[in-house]
């Protein structure tokens, strides 16, 4: 009997005999260190504990429970109750949410990223997709459009991407590949070493990751406006563990999500406000890409969307519907 099922049996028995709500202690698998990317999970833990008078606690582990590429597998077997992962690490395991990693989707703000992510998460096909891993989607980890840091001479023209070794995953990796670059999907925790050893000469990240994983410390330059897209990194809960919660504890968890996201957005906004100062302090050159070069990049990346739709449709997924959902959600916000 696995650990989650055992907990369910014990909880049911205890409630049946005592009529009391048992304390719940959950483990949460993250990676790296506490940073802007994990602030909503940190806040979620605070809120859940406060709302239940300490009866329901989330123990956050940064790399102590699983490798980041294995968090979804850990959720599937109940090795821990909550985890964060990125779709691009294993697109074959979560094909529905890879729609959110397609290049040049048109998302402009973190608030828009939250809206389109949660719309896709709520789609029945996505629910079923993640359900194969005993995973229920709780909330996204919204990130700004990615930009790249690099060493040597700045690459500010599309022709200069040819042969560029870039750390980029998912749809972004495919976009850079279409432009002639050589993408590699090393994890975030491996990016600095990859850059330091010359495995890559550029790294595509959001601002917090360049800072947290110290790729900005090795950089000579940073693109300010390339903005080809971002990655999608959900926070999920093991379904069996979620269903085993008391009604009180489940409500505390569910009702804390919006506030946790609001805290994340506020915290990330503060980081973005400091970014220009950080670049100046680290003597990193700001590189502005001409609109014509961005248009050219968008043009070479456009077939990626059509290829994704065709591939996912062939797998029996409502790919066009998911893509249209992203666009209609953006339109409704504007």
Q: How far apart are CA 201 and CA 219, in angstroms?
A: 9
Q: Reduced to 3 states, what is the DSSP secondary structure of residue 320?
A: helix
Instruction: Report CA-CA distances (Å) from 107 to 73, 82, 199, 228.
Output: 29, 27, 30, 10
Domain extent, residue 310, equals 147-229+277-333
Are 20 and 122 within one domain? yes
pLDDT by residue (tens digit) across 301-320?
A: 999 999 999 999 999 999 99
Are 181 and 282 within one domain? yes
Are 155 and 187 within one domain? yes
pLDDT by residue (tens digit) across 43-94?
A: 999 999 999 999 999 999 999 999 999 999 999 999 999 999 999 889 999 9
Q: What is the pTM of this model?
A: 0.87
In whole angstroms, what separates CA 173 from the centre of its chain? Answer: 15
Are 180 and 130 within one domain? no
Check which CATH number belongs to the domain holding 312 and give it.
3.40.190.170
Give residue 20's pLDDT.
52
How many independent structural domains does the chain possess?
A: 2
Are 133 and 199 within one domain? no
CA-wise closest residue to 326 among 122, 146, 72:
122
Q: How far apart are CA 116 and CA 327, in angstroms?
A: 8
pLDDT by residue (tens digit) across 15-27?
A: 433 345 578 999 9
Are 132 and 163 within one domain? no
């Amino acid at each position: 009997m696995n650990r989650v099922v055992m907990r369910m049996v014990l909880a049911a028995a205890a409630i049946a005999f005592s009529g009391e709500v048992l304390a719940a202690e959950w483990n949460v698998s993250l990676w790296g260190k506490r940073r802007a990317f994990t602030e909503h999970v940190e806040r979620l833990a605070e809120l859940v504990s406060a709302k239940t008078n300490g009866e329901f606690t989330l123990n956050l582990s940064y790399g102590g429970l699983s490798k980041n590429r294995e968090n979804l597998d850990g959720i599937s077997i109940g090795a821990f109750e909550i985890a964060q992962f990125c779709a691009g690490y294993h697109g074959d395991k979560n094909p529905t949410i890879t729609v959110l990693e397609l290049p040049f989707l048109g998302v402009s703000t973190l608030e828009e990223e939250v809206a389109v992510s949660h719309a896709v998460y709520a789609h029945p096909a996505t629910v079923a997709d993640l359900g194969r891993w005993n995973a229920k989607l709780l909330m996204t980890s919204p990130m700004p459009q990615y930009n790249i840091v690099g060493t040597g001479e700045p690459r500010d023209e599309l022709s200069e991407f040819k042969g560029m070794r870039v750390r980029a995953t998912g749809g972004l990796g495919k976009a850079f590949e279409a432009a002639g670059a050589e993408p590699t999907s090393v994890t975030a925790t491996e990016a600095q070493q990859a850059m330091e050893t010359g495995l890559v000469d550029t790294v595509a990240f959001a601002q917090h990751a360049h800072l947290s994983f110290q790729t900005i410390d090795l950089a000579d330059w940073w693109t300010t406006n390339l903005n080809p897209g971002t990655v999608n990194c959900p926070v999920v809960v093991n379904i069996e563990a979620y269903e085993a919660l008391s009604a009180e504890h489940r409500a505390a968890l569910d009702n804390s999500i919006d506030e946790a996201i609001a805290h994340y957005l506020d915290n990330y906004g503060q980081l973005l406000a400091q970014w220009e100062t950080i670049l100046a302090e680290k003597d990193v050159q700001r590189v502005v890409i001409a609109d014509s070069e961005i248009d050219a990049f968008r043009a070479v990346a456009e077939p990626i969307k059509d290829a994704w739709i065709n591939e996912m449709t062939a797998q029996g997924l409502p790919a066009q519907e998911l893509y249209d959902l992203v666009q209609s959600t953006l339109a409704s916000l504007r």
